[in-house]
A and B are shown apart, each in its own frame.
Chain A
Amino acid sequence: MSDIALEVRDLVKTFSLDGTTINAVDQVSFQVKFGEFVALVGPSGSGKTTLLSILAALLTPTSGQVLIDGQDLSAMNEKTRVKLRREKIGFTFQANNLIPFLSARENVEFMLRLNGKLDHGSRIRSDELLARLGLAERLHNLPAQMSGGQQQRVAIARALIHNPALVLADEPTASLDTERAFQVVETFANLIHENGRAGIIVTHDLRMCQFVDRVLQMQDGKLVRVYDNKKEIMELATATIH
């Protein structure tokens, strides 16, 4: 097995708006290895969310290739894409993450149910993961009975429980205060590293970059800069504080 979890080649996504064509994603190429945690940063409208949607097999690119765990997304029909999302990808969203009528435990277990992998062993793993995320006391709470940070942590557990190749997090800290945001992203980073998954976090909060291995900076649809040395990343993450 290759150690490349995600490979993006010459990815282009164009939107037509009132006759003008906009390149929301413009010739983007990069790779993410298993066990690597990458941040995707950039101003609003830089194409982060569009890129994330394509990586998540929710949006079809205009051209270019996306390979997740060696599987080419462009060669797939909708049914196979749904299956890929279910098996190979884990998600956390900015808001409305969880199924509101399922408890914390049920939300995580639902991912196992979807994959037909809910059994005694996976139930225990699910509870352990939630405990690891500090939610041992919250197993039976509904999303509405939990804070935003707790909900995000349940979403992280759900994104990881089925051991996907790729974990995508869309602005997981948008509704959290600084302290909780740091906690959530740090735990997320640790779990990505420990479990050997590939993680991509989309954020506009550069301080979160201190927990990642690499930062991809986007602007106007293009990948304009890659920070891959720890010193540069720490500078980027702390620069905004001063």
Chain B
Amino acid sequence: MKTIFLATYLAIKEIVRNRGRFLLVSLVIALITLLVLFIAALGEGLGNGNRQYVDGLDAQLIVFLEKSDYIIPSSRLDTNTIRAVRRVEGVADAGAIYTSNTEIVSLEEPLKVSMLAVEPGKPGMPEILEGREFRSGEAREAVIDRNVALRSDIKVGDTIEIRSTQGTEDKFYTLEVVGLTSGQSYSFQPTIFVPSATWEKIRPQSESDMGSDTPYPNIIAVKLQDPAQIEAMSALLTERVANIEVADIDTTISNIPGYSAQQGTVQTQAVFTLLIGILVIGGFFQIQILQKVPQIGVLKAIGSANGMVGLSAVIQIIVVTAMGVGIGGGLTYLFSLGFPPTIPLVFNGVNSLIAVVLLLLIGPVGGLVSIVYAVRIEPLKALRLG
């Protein structure tokens, strides 16, 4: 107890009396914090742009075409599959999902969006926040997600025009916006939802696809009666339904084209930034300890225990790091207020917390060498010997 008190006393006194120097190091840590938190937010934002829709599905399993390697665009299921899936016992509900890209042209700046066709009331249809779901069938109605609303001034009740390249021609279709959902980005684009029969008519398609009236879903979202039975149900579905393969949500997300590679890149950046942080802190405290050798020698000569001197160094590093992380967190918050919604920054509580904990650890880890060095300094140094 006395050791902790003495160590804290020394550590705090030194920081207060040399506040300029310590503040400078704190600011370096603050900048590293800013960088790490922004990279984490960017990773989350980019990841969200890719996975937000799939992540939010009210389903536990996704059915793909056999041998599609869980890649959504390469999977196209037979129309009967949905009925077969619904018949399997243990399946609470299932909804077909059809994916494509299009462009809203009835805006000053055309907006590229994902156009997803889903079945109202089935898994795949996100919850409506405002307005209503579209009627099924061929209704020329659309539900937009919040990302569309953020990037344009489209509101429920508006009419939008989309462009699809079908065969060799550009076709234009008008849709009435009837509802709004939360953010449902897919494939880095904001999303509009349409009924499946409408989708089949208005989606971009190649010459060979044209003329068909039957929409083929890419995937089926399956909601289980018992969400804990993911593995058993996955096996059962594969056994009962022909020509499919089944993945859980996490597998589906990591197989979204580019998703894993992108997250890997972002994480590598974050890790290297943390490593740089460790080196910076390590360097600073090592240089500082080298300058303080005589002082530490005196402290020990007059009867300070090694543990107290070491603890004092630890406390100092923790205080400086915590201050830096605190300032950095504040700066990050201030900066984040000024960022436009088009930059994919998402501050996820869990990720930010992990980043902050790692940042708080870089101090002690970086300062480890200097702490060991401080503990090992011989008190004889005070007497010009040893």
Q: Which residues of A contact B (CB under 8 A)?
A: 49-50, 52-53, 56, 58-59, 79, 82-87, 89, 91, 93-102, 106, 111, 113-116, 142, 158, 170
Whether B2 contacts A116 by the Cβ 8 Å rule is yes
Whether B385 contacts A59 by the Cβ 8 Å rule is yes
| Residue of A whose beta carbon sits closest to that of B18 | A101
Q: Which of A91, A94, A100, A142 contacts B302 (CB 8 A)?
A: A91
Whether B384 contacts A94 by the Cβ 8 Å rule is yes
Q: Which of B9, B303, B383 contacts A52 (CB 8 A)?
A: B383
User: Which one, B162-170, B220-228, B291-299, is touching chain A?
Assistant: B291-299
Chain B residues contacting A94 (CB-CB under 8 Å) are 383-384
Whether A102 contacts B302 by the Cβ 8 Å rule is no
Interface of B is mostly: helix
**Alpha-carbon gap, A191 to B254, bound state (A):** 79
| Residue of A whose beta carbon sits closest to that of B299 | A99
B13 within 8 A of A: yes
Whether B9 contacts A53 by the Cβ 8 Å rule is no
| Residue of A whose beta carbon sits closest to that of B380 | A58
**Alpha-carbon gap, A114 to B386, bound state (A):** 24
Interface residues of B in 196-252 (CB under 8 A from A): none
Whether A58 contacts B383 by the Cβ 8 Å rule is yes
**Alpha-carbon gap, A170 to B302, bound state (A):** 13
Take A99-B299, A101-B18 as given contacts and tell me if A53 and B304 are in contact as well, using a CB distance cutoff of 8 Å: no
Minimal beta-carbon separation of A49 from chain B (angstroms): 6
Whether B14 contacts A114 by the Cβ 8 Å rule is no
Per-position binary interface string of chain B over residues 311-324, scored 1 when its CB falls under 8 Å from any chain A CB and 0 otherwise:
00000000000000
**Alpha-carbon gap, A167 to B18, bound state (A):** 31
Other A-B pairs, 15, CB within 8 Å; known A94-B384, A99-B295, A170-B383: A53-B385, A58-B379, A58-B385, A82-B300, A82-B306, A86-B303, A86-B304, A91-B298, A93-B382, A93-B383, A96-B298, A99-B299, A101-B17, A113-B6, A158-B302
Take A82-B303, A99-B298 as given contacts and tell me if A56 and B2 are in contact as well, using a CB distance cutoff of 8 Å: no
Whether A97 contacts B298 by the Cβ 8 Å rule is yes
Q: Which of B13, B298, B383 contacts A49 (CB 8 A)?
A: B383
Chain A residues contacting B386 (CB-CB under 8 Å) are 58-59
Interface residues of B in 11-37 (CB under 8 A from A): 13-14, 17-18
**Alpha-carbon gap, A106 to B379, bound state (A):** 21
**Alpha-carbon gap, A84 to B386, bound state (A):** 20
Minimal beta-carbon separation of A168 from chain B (angstroms): 9
Q: Which residues of B contact A (CB under 8 A)?
A: 2, 6, 9-10, 13-14, 17-18, 294-295, 297-306, 378-380, 382-386
Minimal beta-carbon separation of A59 from chain B (angstroms): 6
Whether A114 contacts B384 by the Cβ 8 Å rule is no
Chain B residues contacting A87 (CB-CB under 8 Å) are 303
Minimal beta-carbon separation of A145 from chain B (angstroms): 11
**Alpha-carbon gap, A142 to B294, bound state (A):** 17
Q: Which of B6, B9, B14, B301 contacts A56 (CB 8 A)?
A: B301
Whether B13 contacts A58 by the Cβ 8 Å rule is no
Whether A102 contacts B13 by the Cβ 8 Å rule is yes
Whether A86 contacts B302 by the Cβ 8 Å rule is yes
Minimal beta-carbon separation of A216 from chain B (angstroms): 18
**Alpha-carbon gap, A94 to B381, bound state (A):** 12
Whether B302 contacts A111 by the Cβ 8 Å rule is yes
Whether A101 contacts B13 by the Cβ 8 Å rule is yes
**Alpha-carbon gap, A142 to B305, bound state (A):** 24
Whether B301 contacts A114 by the Cβ 8 Å rule is no
Whether B385 contacts A96 by the Cβ 8 Å rule is no
Chain B residues contacting A101 (CB-CB under 8 Å) are 13-14, 17-18
Whether A113 contacts B9 by the Cβ 8 Å rule is yes
Minimal beta-carbon separation of A241 from chain B (angstroms): 28
Whether B383 contacts A56 by the Cβ 8 Å rule is yes
Minimal beta-carbon separation of A74 from chain B (angstroms): 18
The listed residue with most B CB atoms (<10 A of its CB), out of A59, A99, A116, A170, is A99
Q: Which of B13, B298, B303, B378 contacts A93 (CB 8 A)?
A: B298
Whether A85 contacts B301 by the Cβ 8 Å rule is yes
| Residue of B whose beta carbon sits closest to that of A87 | B303
**Alpha-carbon gap, A142 to B295, bound state (A):** 14
**Alpha-carbon gap, A87 to B302, bound state (A):** 9
Whether A114 contacts B383 by the Cβ 8 Å rule is no
**Alpha-carbon gap, A96 to B304, bound state (A):** 16
A-B contact pairs, 10 of them (CB 8 A): A50-B385, A52-B383, A58-B378, A58-B382, A79-B305, A82-B306, A91-B301, A94-B384, A99-B295, A113-B6
**Alpha-carbon gap, A113 to B299, bound state (A):** 12
Whether A83 contacts B303 by the Cβ 8 Å rule is yes
Whether B303 contacts A106 by the Cβ 8 Å rule is no
